[in-house]
Amino acid sequence: MAQIFNLRNKNTAIGFDWGTSSVKIVGLKRKGDQYELSHCVLLEFPLDCSDEQKQQTIKKQLSKSYFQNVPVMVGLPGGSMNIRYIKLPEMSAKDFQNAAIWEVSEELLYDLSAALIYTELLDTLQDGDLRKAYGVVAAVPRERLQKEVTKFKRFFPKFRGFGIDAFAATTAVVANELADSKVIAVLDIGARWSKLVIVSNGKIMGEREIGFGTIQINEEMHSVFGIEMAETEILKRKIHIVSNNGENEFVCLVKDKETCVEAVKFILEQLIQELRLSLQFFAAQLRQDINKVYLTGGGALMKGIELYFAEKLALPVEIANPFQKILLNDELFEKDEIQLKATQFATAVGLAMSALGKSCKGNFDPFELLVEKKKEEQKEWITLRISSLSALMIVLGMLLFLDWRLQYLKLHNSVLGHYLENFQQKQNKVEKIIFQTGNINSKFRAILKAKQQQPHWSALLDEISQCIPFGVWLTKIKVNPASQSDGENIEYLESPSSSAFVLEMQGKALFAYQLRRFYGQMQKSKFCTNVVLKKMVLGQEKQRSVLNFHIVSTINKNAESKRQLDLDR
């Protein structure tokens, strides 16, 4: 693609999409009411490539001087924030803000004062005989966001901020006037997960992350064929879908094509099942049908994938081209090469547009919120200092008055000792009251802190549900402190601490490989440690053979990994 060159125009911005297996960089320049592509780079990495290796490659490819005067917007995964779309009784925007903050505070695993909160009342919807206020509330730890800012400022001196990657891809679809339907869905198929965004009349009305991506296809091929992950990527690219007499068929240019196709269909069917349920949920929430689905991301590059999705969803499905309305210079870019992988750049294009001020309603910029929060804190700090200084001046004035009064009494009144004694008694009472008030305040703060540090077990259940594959179901979940668990379960674990919790899960699986997948997902979970398959026996369930299993693991309620898990979702 095009070589790197300097961009000095003030109407130019860069979108930087750091994905799992590739980095996409797009530069856009405003040209009247249109955008012109000024820069386009795709850096692909092996699936086992570390972040340090990626950073070294990026530093080699990008010139430092190139970014000196160009604002850069970086993609931030939606799982880094707690995003909720809620429906409440009809109320004002101010009341909705207070109610939404209270709603999200119940789910946070960190102190609310350390969170950056965003709320917006999107619309008022008819729900039966009642009208409901529908809006979004999002929370992100300011400390973690500040660390990300410090990290990317080392790459880009004129760092503009962050944009939610799924929202950025949606911005690219809507801004290019591709969304001609009233209510659409944008599915960004990534390597490790997929992101679904619902748009109604150009306004973002819903978002959800689906735990399926193209890397699951690679892992399935790796498990079935026993080949390296790099080889599975080559094998995956040889599969495409064609329409034959109105029926969609998978075509694979390898020897074991039936096994290979089954591995791909297994993952795609799970993704489509989750997508179908999500579309039904948002359609019920908005009381409107989804008219069309747009596919973006690297996973949409599989030839004919839109035909398969359209058949399974019974909806029009289209591969989004973010460059459709963007001007391309024939002297700088190879149009055919860019159009071939256009949908992979949707997030980067949307980030560049956001940096230039083009964004959907319902989208938000966490970095701008952070800056705005800092300004508010600075104003509060200045107000506090002024108030403190004013109070100090009043106290000094009173002390001067009392000193003058005492001198006057010494000279003109023989009962000065009596007045001084009364004054000291009152002063002692005031100090005693202040001391007692301080003790009460300390106890209240201790109780409040203990309440806020209670673990939120809903996050644990949500994590377990994300790990359960098709064909596996749980019949019993039990959580006990390690100090209260029986020795029979403790002996399977590696010396759990007294502050740890023991998680027991009993369930059934249709096939051994499905149980192995669930066991592997639980081992990868940041929530659990020392995951042990305690028992696996063959049983009967409705005249069908099933595997009864019993899994035991350790959960540390104070572990930082638990907080990290909630942020990654």
pLDDT in tens, the chain (569 residues): 322 233 334 678 888 888 777 888 888 888 877 888 888 888 888 767 777 777 777 777 666 555 556 777 787 765 567 777 888 888 888 888 888 888 777 777 777 777 777 788 888 887 778 888 888 887 878 777 777 777 777 777 666 677 777 777 777 787 765 445 578 889 988 887 888 888 887 788 888 888 878 888 778 777 777 777 777 777 777 777 776 666 666 666 555 666 677 778 888 888 889 999 999 988 888 888 888 999 988 888 888 888 888 888 889 999 888 888 888 887 778 888 888 888 888 888 888 888 787 765 545 555 454 455 555 666 777 888 888 888 888 988 898 888 888 777 777 666 666 667 777 888 888 777 777 766 666 766 766 665 555 556 677 788 888 888 888 888 888 887 776 665 555 555 555 554 567 888 999 988 888 888 889 888 888 778 888 988 888 888 777 888 899 999 888 655 444 444 444 44
Q: Which CATH architecture has domain 457-568?
A: 2-Layer Sandwich (3.30)
Work out the end-to-end distance of the chain between its first and last CA atoms, rounded to an integer number of angstroms.
34
Q: Dihedral, CA atoms, 238, 244, 248, 249, nearest 10 degrees? A: -40
Rounded Cα gap, residues 127 and 420, in angstroms:
71
Q: Which residues contact 514 (CB under 8 A, 6 or more apart)?
A: 469, 470, 471, 472
Residues 254 and 185: their CA atoms lie apart, in Å, by 34
Contact 24, 54 (CB under 8 A): no
Q: Quote the pTM value.
A: 0.59
What span, in angstroms and rounded, lies between the C-alpha atoms of 522 and 502? 14
Give the whole-angstrom CA distance, residue 114 versus residue 123: 29
Where does residue 107 rank: exposed (0-12), middle (13-18), buried (19+ CB within 10 A)? middle
Sign of the Cα pseudo-torsion (472, 476, 477, 478, in order): negative
Query: 3-state DSSP call for residue 74?
Result: strand
Residue 549 backbone phi and psi in degrees, to 5:
-130, 160
Place of tokens 């809507």: 174
Residue spans per domain, the chain: 381-452, 457-568
Q: Which two tokens stand for residue 56?
A: 């070294």
Residues 184/199, Cβ–Cβ less than 8 Å: yes
